[in-house]
Chain A
Amino acid sequence: MKNTAEIVVIGAGIIGSTITYYLAKEGLDVVLVEQAGFCAGSSGATHCQIGMHNRFPGWGLDLSIKSIEILKDLSNQYDFEYDETGSLLMIDNPSKLEWIEKRREIQFSSGIKSYYLTRKDLDREEPYLSQNIISAVFYPQSVRINSMRLCHALISDARKIGADINLHTNVNDIIVKNRKIQKVKTSNGDIYTHNVINAAGAWATKISNLVGLNIPLNINKGNVIITEKIPKLGIKYKGEIILKDKKGNPIWASNEISELEKEYSVRFVFSQTVHGNCLIGRSGEFSENLYDRDTSYLSIRAILSRAIKFMPILEDVKFIRTFAGLRPYSIDEKPILGPSQTVNGFIVATGHGDKGIGWMSSGKLLVDHLCGRKTFMSIEPFLFDRIENNI
């Protein structure tokens, strides 16, 4: 491990890997430090998809569109199972059609394409959906990737162009003197640097504590189920729609929501990888414990009980693995990108919630901003200042 660096990146998830990659391309002397293996946190416990169906005009859409652009470009160089699957939103209640039509109009105005599938279309194209799905909306621009392969590709490339990659290395302390970072103390030795990027995802608060800051994050644990390989079951990325009431609280899409499903905030998401395995989700429970990555028994029961309501064929499919990931939401659910005003050199890149993959372009946004380049969108909404002023 190097003992000096222009900049140290903490965290080798999707955000940390992307940032390291772009910093290395800029020719900067960057050292990446990660407590476990690459993609070992939330980025390795995700559905790995970027969906257009829930995007609306605004910064979220802009980040997603840029992410897809970057990924499509990278897919020409690296194989990370980039798959333009599109996404299918299933509708089971006629009362929602009007509302959905309004959504589509707004989405369309910012370039998000979508098409209706009638029940007849579904009989032909999606014969495995349950009969209570009356229609569906298809968003062709959604994509799926394999986040593990992507992280590995970015880190390998970064290493080739000079980045120093250190996995299985814990950050024990960050020494600050006169409000300026001096060095990072790790389990493998010290790195003298004046700049640190905190891309530690669910562990970002812990890292921020080392410099006397406290980034508040809401950690939401989600479980995912992986099935055995099966033949293609129609569109490889499907989900149900969630209505939100005036207060922004989710109202369930289906009248058949059970108590258990409600308890675990289950929303049906299904995706199929290029290999044929299916990922079934999704659930959410707020988690106090950063180390609780255990599968929650009731959570997977809730997910699966909901899944068969939409795709009864899944009943006979076997599942072979489950995993859980911790979604790091910032308090306003916007990513936090940017330097601290109180600790010189401490830069934050976290708070992506459940959209680490979808908003991986924020890594490039941050790097461009730090290097004084023209950014593809304004970084204003994400600056750390808004959080820092309140903590």
Chain B
Amino acid sequence: MIETEIAIVGAGPAGLAAACESAQVGSKVIVFDENNHPGGQLVKQIHKFFGSKEHLAGVRGIDIGKKLYKRALSLGVEVRLGTVVWGYFENQLAVVFNNQVEVVSAKKIIVATGALENTLSFPGWTLPGIMGAGGAQTLMNLYRILPGKKVLMVGAGNVGLIIAYQLLQAGAEVIAVVEAAPKIGGYKVHADKILRNGVPILTGHTVKEALGKERVEKVIIAQVRSDFSIIPETEREIDADTICLAVGLTPLTELLWLMECEMRYESDLGGFIPVRNKNMETSISGIYIAGDVAGIEEASIAMEEGRIAGIAAAESLGHIISDKARMIKNRAEESLLQLRLNPSFAPRMTEKNKTNNGIIKNSQIEILNRNGSIPIIECNECIPCNPCETVCLFGCIQVGTTITNLPLLNLDKCTGCGQCVLACPGLAIFLLDRNYSKDEAAITLPYEFLPLPKKGEKVIALDRNGSKVCEGEVLNVILTKKGDRTALVKIAIPKEHADKVRSIKTTRLDSGKEGEN
């Protein structure tokens, strides 16, 4: 029998945040996770996170996971990895580790079991090579195995867009992203990252059928109407050996059903979730929830919910007085409000305050033609994110307390150092020097592919849709520790293309996609 005050099921961001918060005020905490690694989904998120500094914005997901885990351990939390919670008998959790079962006696339980990928069934969907996008991500980022060479991604939410990009980084060819809805569901910056690498995003399209003998060989896609029914005669056959399904997540609530918590269906949050109060406590006293299991949102929200559940559990055990607990909960709730602001597109830009999709403060338009590189911030969607503001040592970029505000650039003190280029999790900032030479402009791009190009190398310069614009020459490649694996690649291109070029053809893509769209 294992005894503890607080048992937490799941060592992902929600579970670990809950563990840290409750352990910090003296609770005895044990976290159980069925995986052999802590961090939950964070362990696969190699991209930099959005949000604000408290949420570790600009830090790669994998590093957030490590930080949380180390903090938990340092606070005396016991983390039992490779331990499956498989039952709930008479108010006790049943676990198994290394084929040995144990029963856990805990005063409070926090369930942070995350979510499950949805499946899409279409003829041929059981052929090898068809997998959840998250599954492909696990193969790539955890086990270093390339899921396939020619991938079709289904779903243009953040999961599909991010993983499509990671597939490119891993060396796969992503033929297209298909999305049944008429609009891209994920952040625009995530979409831009793959579009300028030549991956088309086909909205209003779906997978109709997968064909193949031993594995997927061809996929038939087709256009759909607004009710998602297939429009006849729009079928197209494409070669693919892998299909990744990013069609949504469902909260993994099995344990909570076993515990007989009251559940309710919330379609926006992924399906059935436990009814819970502001303390993240379910209908059963002493059982709390946090993270995706409480509704599909994202990691930063999972961490805040974990904090609330952790402090509430600790409060109910008497480890912290209500006033102090209230303060912590209020802070978390405010943060949640910020994070839950819906992304929306910026108000329509007028000619006066817009240039080349960059956002420039009205009064600075004349300075555009000064010498040296100036940042172009191609961020015009209001998402909760402000690392560009935090990183600039000279205060050139302003977002403000409402972190969904679009960044405003003040060029007075800008030195063209490029830190904002490196800090932007959406890779949406570029440096542009229009007057590099008589005939050339120089553009500095954030670059996250291997191998890095070499100084002097001739490259093909692409536009925002991945189409070839011209040729360029690599002037400089800078990779520093501060850049955290993002390199700055500066290329020289003919002046007239300065406003078009936003990417270079990666040396991995040799399947003849030049100029194709």
Complex contact flag A–B (Cβ < 8 Å):
yes
- Chain A contact residues, CB within 8 Å of chain B: 294-297, 301
**Which residues of chain A are near B103, meaning CB under 8 Å?**
297
B94 at the interface (CB under 8 A from A): yes
| Complex alpha-carbon distance, A296 and B103, angstroms | 13
Minimum distance in angstroms from B93 CB to a CB of chain A = 11
- Chain B residue nearest to A296 (CB atoms) is B89
**Which residues of chain B are near A295, meaning CB under 8 Å?**
87, 89
Give 5 CB contacts A-B under 8 Å. Answer: A294-B89, A295-B87, A295-B89, A297-B87, A297-B94
**Which residues of chain B are near A297, meaning CB under 8 Å?**
87, 89-90, 94, 103
**Which residues of chain A are near B101, meaning CB under 8 Å?**
301
**Which residues of chain A are near B87, meaning CB under 8 Å?**
295, 297
- Chain B residue nearest to A298 (CB atoms) is B89
- Chain A residue nearest to B260 (CB atoms) is A294
- Chain A residue nearest to B92 (CB atoms) is A297
Minimum distance in angstroms from B87 CB to a CB of chain A = 7
**Which residues of chain B are near A296, meaning CB under 8 Å?**
89
Q: Residues of B within 8 Å of A, CB-based: how many?
A: 6
**Which residues of chain B are near A294, meaning CB under 8 Å?**
89
**Which residues of chain A are near B89, meaning CB under 8 Å?**
294-297
- Chain A residue nearest to B94 (CB atoms) is A297
| Complex alpha-carbon distance, A294 and B94, angstroms | 14
Sample of 5 more A-B contacts, CB < 8 Å, known A297-B94, A297-B103: A294-B89, A295-B87, A297-B87, A297-B89, A297-B90
Interface mask (B81-120 → A, CB under 8 Å = 1, otherwise 0): 0000001011000100000010100000000000000000
- Chain A residue nearest to B103 (CB atoms) is A297
| Complex alpha-carbon distance, A162 and B31, angstroms | 57
| Complex alpha-carbon distance, A338 and B94, angstroms | 46
| Complex alpha-carbon distance, A95 and B99, angstroms | 37
| Complex alpha-carbon distance, A294 and B89, angstroms | 8
- Chain A residue nearest to B87 (CB atoms) is A297
| Complex alpha-carbon distance, A295 and B94, angstroms | 12
- Chain A residue nearest to B101 (CB atoms) is A301
Interface mask (B217-232 → A, CB under 8 Å = 1, otherwise 0): 0000000000000000
**Which residues of chain A are near B90, meaning CB under 8 Å?**
297
| Complex alpha-carbon distance, A153 and B272, angstroms | 32
- Chain A residue nearest to B90 (CB atoms) is A297
- Chain B residue nearest to A301 (CB atoms) is B101
Minimum distance in angstroms from A314 CB to a CB of chain B = 14
| Complex alpha-carbon distance, A297 and B1, angstroms | 13
Interface mask (B48-81 → A, CB under 8 Å = 1, otherwise 0): 0000000000000000000000000000000000
| Complex alpha-carbon distance, A294 and B260, angstroms | 11
Minimum distance in angstroms from A315 CB to a CB of chain B = 10
Ordered nearest first, which 8 A-B pairs have the shortest CB separation?
A297-B89, A297-B94, A297-B87, A297-B103, A295-B87, A295-B89, A296-B89, A294-B89
Minimum distance in angstroms from A289 CB to a CB of chain B = 13
| Complex alpha-carbon distance, A295 and B87, angstroms | 9
**Which residues of chain B are near A301, meaning CB under 8 Å?**
101
Minimum distance in angstroms from B49 CB to a CB of chain A = 37
- Chain A residue nearest to B89 (CB atoms) is A297
**Which residues of chain A are near B94, meaning CB under 8 Å?**
297
- Chain B residue nearest to A322 (CB atoms) is B87
Which residue, of A296, A297, A301, has the highest number of chain B Cβ atoms within 10 A?
A297
Minimum distance in angstroms from B191 CB to a CB of chain A = 41
- Chain B residue nearest to A315 (CB atoms) is B99
| Complex alpha-carbon distance, A296 and B87, angstroms | 10
Minimum distance in angstroms from A380 CB to a CB of chain B = 45
| Complex alpha-carbon distance, A297 and B87, angstroms | 9
| Complex alpha-carbon distance, A295 and B101, angstroms | 16
| Complex alpha-carbon distance, A303 and B426, angstroms | 56
Minimum distance in angstroms from A227 CB to a CB of chain B = 15
| Complex alpha-carbon distance, A296 and B89, angstroms | 7
| Complex alpha-carbon distance, A301 and B96, angstroms | 13
Minimum distance in angstroms from B181 CB to a CB of chain A = 35
| Complex alpha-carbon distance, A296 and B90, angstroms | 9
| Complex alpha-carbon distance, A8 and B90, angstroms | 38
| Complex alpha-carbon distance, A93 and B87, angstroms | 37
| Complex alpha-carbon distance, A87 and B87, angstroms | 33
| Complex alpha-carbon distance, A301 and B100, angstroms | 12
Minimum distance in angstroms from A265 CB to a CB of chain B = 19
- Chain A residue nearest to B258 (CB atoms) is A294
| Complex alpha-carbon distance, A301 and B89, angstroms | 13
| Complex alpha-carbon distance, A297 and B96, angstroms | 13
| Complex alpha-carbon distance, A109 and B101, angstroms | 49
Minimum distance in angstroms from A6 CB to a CB of chain B = 40
| Complex alpha-carbon distance, A295 and B88, angstroms | 9
| Complex alpha-carbon distance, A295 and B258, angstroms | 11
Minimum distance in angstroms from B89 CB to a CB of chain A = 4
| Complex alpha-carbon distance, A297 and B88, angstroms | 9
Minimum distance in angstroms from A190 CB to a CB of chain B = 31
Within 8 A of A (CB), among B182-216: none
| Complex alpha-carbon distance, A125 and B103, angstroms | 39
| Complex alpha-carbon distance, A301 and B101, angstroms | 10
Minimum distance in angstroms from B94 CB to a CB of chain A = 6
Minimum distance in angstroms from A81 CB to a CB of chain B = 24
Within 8 A of A (CB), among B425-478: none
Minimum distance in angstroms from A181 CB to a CB of chain B = 36
| Complex alpha-carbon distance, A248 and B418, angstroms | 89
Minimum distance in angstroms from B260 CB to a CB of chain A = 9
Minimum distance in angstroms from B15 CB to a CB of chain A = 24
| Complex alpha-carbon distance, A297 and B103, angstroms | 10
Minimum distance in angstroms from B176 CB to a CB of chain A = 38
| Complex alpha-carbon distance, A337 and B101, angstroms | 45
| Complex alpha-carbon distance, A289 and B101, angstroms | 27
| Complex alpha-carbon distance, A297 and B102, angstroms | 11
| Complex alpha-carbon distance, A297 and B101, angstroms | 11
- Chain B residue nearest to A297 (CB atoms) is B89
| Complex alpha-carbon distance, A239 and B71, angstroms | 54
Within 8 A of A (CB), among B5-38: none
Minimum distance in angstroms from B91 CB to a CB of chain A = 12
| Complex alpha-carbon distance, A295 and B90, angstroms | 10
Which residue, of B87, B94, B103, has the highest number of chain A Cβ atoms within 10 A?
B87
Minimum distance in angstroms from B160 CB to a CB of chain A = 31
- Chain B residue nearest to A294 (CB atoms) is B89
Minimum distance in angstroms from A368 CB to a CB of chain B = 43
Minimum distance in angstroms from B349 CB to a CB of chain A = 57
Interface mask (B323-362 → A, CB under 8 Å = 1, otherwise 0): 0000000000000000000000000000000000000000
Minimum distance in angstroms from B266 CB to a CB of chain A = 24
Minimum distance in angstroms from A296 CB to a CB of chain B = 7
Minimum distance in angstroms from A291 CB to a CB of chain B = 11
Minimum distance in angstroms from A146 CB to a CB of chain B = 25
| Complex alpha-carbon distance, A121 and B423, angstroms | 75
